[in-house]
Structure formats: structure tokens, C-alpha cells
Amino acid sequence: MGNSIRGILVMVKEYFAMSWSNIRGNKVRSFLTVLGILIGVTAVIALITTVSGFSGTLSSSFRSMGAGSLMLSVTGNDLKSGLSREDLTVLTELEEVDGVSPSVSLRGRVARGGAYQSNVTVSGRNAYYFLKNEGMVSRGRTIHPSDEENMTFVCLISQELVTTFFYGEDPLGRNLYIDGVPFLVVGILSGDGGTSVTAMMSSGSASIVIPYTTALKMNNTGDVTSLVVYAADGLESGDVTTVLEETLDAMFSYEEDCFTVTAMTSIEDTMNNMLSMVSTLLAGIASIALVVGGIGIMNMMLTTVTERTMEIGLKKALGAIPWQIQMQFLIESFLLSMIGGVMGVALGLFLSLILCQAIGSTFVISVEAILLGVSFSAVVGILFGWAPARKASRLNPIDALRSM
């Protein structure tokens, strides 16, 4: 009779229809019941999607510029405080290395005419730096190899300094004084100073860029202590670490703690780990809302069972077996929870779209997150609907009918 798979499917379909009409018949109450699940799923989805969008953006910017690079920072020892230009040449000529980009940082007093500004960040860079970080220059030219070679007094300046010192004038071809030394302005730095992570991490927002050799001279050191090493084509930064360390060990006479090499890939790994830890933690907290939502559904279902005692008795009198009653109520709580879940997924994605736009990362719909949200609410619906549904199926039809 009703035992074939087909029969069961037909019945389950019928229960869905009944549950749906019950849920619709109590719109406000159903919505309030579902609110807990909705909020929980919204939070989980928004968090996961936003964080994964953010880490995706981070990763891709690492990959675009950073994956093949290593940060080298030198503390030196008594004999040797940093890397000389010859040392840099040695590093550049390593087979595994594509090039190096030293960074020499100074602070100086910048002046022109009557105007001056103290404590301006001046970065010493080489030509290779501009090769690796495209889009740094909005107008004019970059530092050339000949500038490095000859320690020329040329500079590129930020838009901010253009407004400060060259109001209404074209700065290109004019002089600017850094600590009293005249520098020829040859280029204007673009506003965002490059988008790559290495640019972000190594320069901050430089106001003035000059040839690093010139900067070393002004610094009175002649030694480079901070640089970025780029791996040769096809190599990841991790592959270069060993050979780089060996070379540097030789330069520093095998004394310990003279330098640190940090591969970008390992920084990226660390960051991704941190991000995924944070997102797991937040999602964990958000899932408490799901449990609370589940309890809300359970409460509502228990109330429903009590209210519909007569209906349950009647259905039993008409031949429903306990299992069929249990199924019907289970499907109702499942459906309630799923409605909350689906609404939560939609709202969560919407929220995360806004968030991603606000923090400027790409918005990627994560299928895992959606599956997680939906399946979590399905589980919550069945889990918390179980006890009420069982209670309904246990109702004695005689008592139930007498209550009419």
C-alpha cells in the first residue's frame, strides 16, 4: 500500500505542502521563529565570504608582486654594518636572483624658495625598483641605472609636495633642496604609490625618491641594510632562501644573527593562517546564534504541537500512523529552519558584498560557505525539531480528540 518508495515520496511531498501552508498561515510568527537562524546564518556567511574575499585579494596581490620576492634586513656586525654596492652586485649575479631593490631611508628638510618642510621621508631606490613596481610614476621619468652609477641629484616627488612647493608651476626640470642640496625634479610619484605588497611594506608612502647611491652618500654610511631580493623567473621566494643565506653568511664571515631573510611566501602563509584562524573563530561565535535559533524553532514547534492537538488526534483517527505524524512535524521544522537559512545566505552574501566593497577586496561567492549555511540550518531544523515531532507522534488520539 503506502510502503513503496514512490508512495513515501508522494507522502513526503504532501507533508511539505501541509507544512508550507501552516508556515504561511502564521507568517509573522514563522518569521520571528526563523529570525534566530536567519541572523546566525547571515553572520556566518557574511564573515566567511568577506574574510575569504579579503584573503583572496591579499593573496593575489602577494602573487602579482610578492611571491617571488624576499625581504632582507641586515643588522651587520662590528666589521661590516651592511651591504656595499659590490655586495649587491654579487647578489644580483646569483643565478637564482633576478635582481635586488635596496631601500635607504632618510628624513630630511625639504625647501624651495621661502617654503620648507622638515622631517620628510626620503627613499633611496634603484632603477630595478621601478621596473618591479609599475605605475609608480604618474609623470616624468624613473630613476635610471646611470643615476645609480653616477649618484646624480635627481628626485621624484609626491603629489603632496608638488602642491606644497610648486603651486601653479610645473615641477619637472626645477630644483628642490633636500638638506640644502639641490635636486632636479625628474618625475612625479603617482598617488597610490604602487599597489604591490612589497611596495606597501618597504616604502610606506614615500614623499621623495632619489637614487639609493645618492641616499647612501647623504646618509654617510655607504651600506645598505634593507632590501628586497627578487627570485629569477620561475622560482618562488622559498627556493632562493638557502642560496641567499649561504652567500650572505660568507659575506658576514659566518657570524650569526647578522641578517634576516624573510620569504614573501612564508609571510603570505602566516597571514593566511591568521586570517583563517580569525574567520574560524568568528564563525564559531556566530554559530552560537544558530544554536539559539534552533532553540527558538524547538520552542515554536512545541507550542505548535500543543496548539494542534486536535489536528493530530484527527489525523490519527483518519489512519495516520505515528511515524507519519512525526515526519510531518519534522518536515515543518526543517522547512522553517531552511527558510531562515536561505534568507540568511542571501542576506549574508549581500552584506559581504557591501563589506568587500568597503574594504576594497574582491567579492567571491563561496560555494562552501553557502553549503555550510544551508546544511547547518537543515541540521538545526531536524535536530531541534526532533523532540517536538516525537511528542506529536506520541499524542494519544483519544485525549487529543477529547480536547476539541
Partner 1 sequence: MTEPVFFHMAGIHKVYPMGDEQVHVLKDVNLDLEKGDYLSVLGPSGSGKTTLMNIIGCLDTASAGEYVLEGYDIGEMDEVELARIRSREIGFIFQNSQLLPRLNALKNVELPLIYAGVSPRERRQRAREMLEKVGLSRRMEHYPNQLSGGQQQRVAIARAMVGNPAILLADEPTGALDQKTGRQVMDLFQALNREGRTIIMITHDMNIAACARRTVHIVDGVLTERAGEAHG
Q: Binding partner 1 by CB under 8 A: which of 5, 28, 367, 404? A: 404
Cβ pair 203, 103 in contact under 8 A? yes
Could you tell me the smallest distance in angstroms from the CB atom of residue 2 to partner 1?
A: 2
Report, in Å, the least distance between residue 24 CB and partner 1: 9
Strand partners, 125: 211
Please give the angle made by the CA atoms of 37, 42 and 48, to the nearest 5 degrees: 125
**Grid cell listed for 378:** 537543515
Q: Which stretch binds partner 1 (CB under 8 A): 97-105, 259-267, 283-291, 321-329?
A: 321-329
Residue 368: CB minimum distance to partner 1, A: 38
Q: Which string of x and - marks every residue 6-25 that binds partner 1 (by CB under 8 A)?
A: -x--xx--x---x--xx--x
Pairwise CA distance, residues 201 & 298, whole Å: 52
Give whole-number Cα distances, 327 to 23, 124, 200, 352, 387, in Å: 16, 74, 59, 36, 12
**Residue of 112, 125, 132, 315 interacting with partner 1 (CB under 8 A):** 315
- Given 72, 74, 320, 370, the residue binding partner 1 (CB under 8 A): 320
Q: Which residues pair with 271 in a beta bridge?
A: none
Per CB under 8 A, does 321 bind partner 1?
Answer: yes
Q: Distance (Å, rounded) from C-alpha 196 to C-alpha 66? A: 7
Rounded CA separation 348/41 (Å): 7
* Secondary structure of 325-387 as H, E, C letters: HHHHHHHHHHHHHHHHHHHHHHHHHHHHHHHHHHHCCCCCCCHHHHHHHHHHHHHHHHHHHHH
If the CB atoms of residues 11 and 383 are measured against partner 1, the closer one turns out to be: 11
Q: Select from 4-12, 106-114, 293-301, 341-349 the region that touches partner 1 (CB under 8 A).
A: 4-12
Single residue of 76, 140, 238, 322 touching partner 1 by CB under 8 A: 322
Looking at 131, 281, 285, 317, which residue binds partner 1 (CB under 8 A)? 317
Binding residue (CB under 8 A) for partner 1 from 237, 324, 333, 366: 324
Calpha distance 295→8 (Å, rounded):
29
CB of 336 to partner 1, least distance (A): 16
Min. distance of Cβ 292 from partner 1 in angstroms? 29
Distance CA 123, CA 206 (A): 6
- Binding residues among 23-42 for partner 1 as defined by CB under 8 A: 25
Of 292, 310, 354, 359, the one binding partner 1 (CB under 8 A) is 310
Instruction: Considering the complex, state which of residue 87 and residue 311 has its C-beta at the smaller distance from partner 1.
Output: 311
5 binds partner 1 per the rule CB under 8 A: no
Q: How far is the CB of 318 from partner 1 (least distance, A)?
A: 4
Among candidate residues 373, 392, 386, 376, the one with its CA nearest the CA of residue 303: 392
Buried residues in 44-72 as b, exposed as e (16+ CB within 10 A): bbbbbbbbbbbbbbbbebbeebbbbbbbb
Q: Which residues bind partner 1 (CB under 8 A)?
A: 1-4, 7, 10-11, 14, 18, 21-22, 25, 310-311, 314-324, 397-398, 401-402, 404
